[in-house]
Amino acid sequence: MHAGNPNLPGLRSDLARAALFACFIANLGIGLCGGQSAPNPLQGDDNAHDPMMIKSGRDYFVFYTGDGIGVKTSKDRITWKNIGAALTTMPAWHKQYVPGAGSGLWAPDVHFRAGKFWLYYAVSTNGSRVSAIGLATAARLNPNGASIWQDQGMVINTGDANDYNAIDPNIYVDSTGTPWLVFGSWWTGIKMFQLDPATGKRAAESPMYSLAYHDNGAEGAFLIKRGKYFYLWLSWDVCCQGINSTYNIRVGRAAQLTGPYLDSKGIALIDQGGDLIDKGDARWKGPGHNAIFTEGDTAFLVNHAYDAENDGRATLQIRPLYWTAQDWPTLDKSKGEIAALGSRAKNGSGRKKPRASPAGSRGFVDVRGRKSDAKNAATSASRLPAPARK
């Protein structure tokens, strides 16, 4: 919720909160509650940069850029709390491949496969191609504190001789159980190659595919499959400059995993195509580095944006996606319907009719966060990457 809304003085009673969430769910975050625009219901520690979300058991986890990789947990996707860093000790190989590396690790991605959690992350410095992507694994995620992550070493590194950058990892697992690493930033854009399922490292003889490019930067890619299409999400332009950030979220799709990825006008993403999903507004600047989290019939767009009403603080956003009749995603409820990934069941209109929200899925709303204490904001600012991360 937004702490400045005069109609919501704390919402401390369970009854008031229940009424508010009922209104949110009824409007799916787009309609009005009590004559006011739907307020932002995230509570607690909602400061995050380059976030991704995963669920384990009854707990939601957000991993994000920070010292040792920041971690937050929630029971309901609404109220979040920080539980510390994923990695409390930096592996020695960080300095070997990225001499200027510190404890600030970028853009984590976590998935569960083969009985364990796989954490990929980037080690880099601002504006440099001297970068590496690392891997750690854990048997379980602990919602009450640090999980036990085992370092698995370096996956890929780049240097000045490369025309691409080993940052912003995302893992896509195909229908055969084979993982693929999608990564990259600026220079020649977004890349992908196949991983060895046993090691999580690059598969022998795997070629590297170029998926997307943009003159002013393309990074933060995330790949999903829905129905017969693969959807590639990415961020264009410049992050990490607070309210001056120009990040914006784009998407394209392909019939084959390796592409070509096209936007709705038929322009290839490698030729600077990409449908605009969100470019921000007067308050929320530079939305970007998104992930997709799916629960029940809803796919959620998870990203950060810079709050112009809170000194450009990087803030977690979690919003439902809607799908048009042509199977393109949108944040505009009036242009589409909610439908599960991989599902194309039809009602009379040829679209999937939304089911009732699953238990615990109260976040079918435009959740953009609220202000928190200055100390938390200052702590975050000190650990976020500086401008011109490319």
Active site amino acids: 50, 219
- Give the whole-angstrom CA distance, residue 307 versus residue 302: 16
* Neighbour tally for 267: CB within 10 Å: 15
Give the distance from CA 115 to its chain's centroid. 23
Residue (of 245, 248, 221) closest to 165 by Cα position: 221
- Give the whole-angstrom CA distance, residue 248 versus residue 241: 13
Q: In the numeric block, which tokens belong to residue 74?
A: 């929630």
Order of all β-strands in the sheet with 248-254:
218-226, 229-236, 248-254, 275-278
Give the distance from CA 8 to its chain's centroid. 29
Residue type at position 116: K
* H helices present in the chain, as ranges: 14-27, 93-97, 374-383
Residue (of 362, 357, 335, 302) closest to 23 by Cα position: 362
- Bridge partner list, 212: 190
- Give the whole-angstrom CA distance, residue 385 versus residue 368: 21
- Give the whole-angstrom CA distance, residue 183 versus residue 153: 17
- Give the whole-angstrom CA distance, residue 111 versus residue 326: 29
Order of all β-strands in the sheet with 79-85:
43-44, 79-85, 70-74, 59-64, 52-56
Rounded to the nearest 10 degrees, how much is the dihedral formed by the CA atoms of 79, 342, 167, 187? -130
CB 368 within 8 A of CB 305: yes
Phi/psi-derived region of residue 370, left when phi > 0, alpha when psi is between -120 and 50, beta in every other case: beta
- Give the whole-angstrom CA distance, residue 297 versus residue 10: 31
DSSP 8-state class, residue 357: P
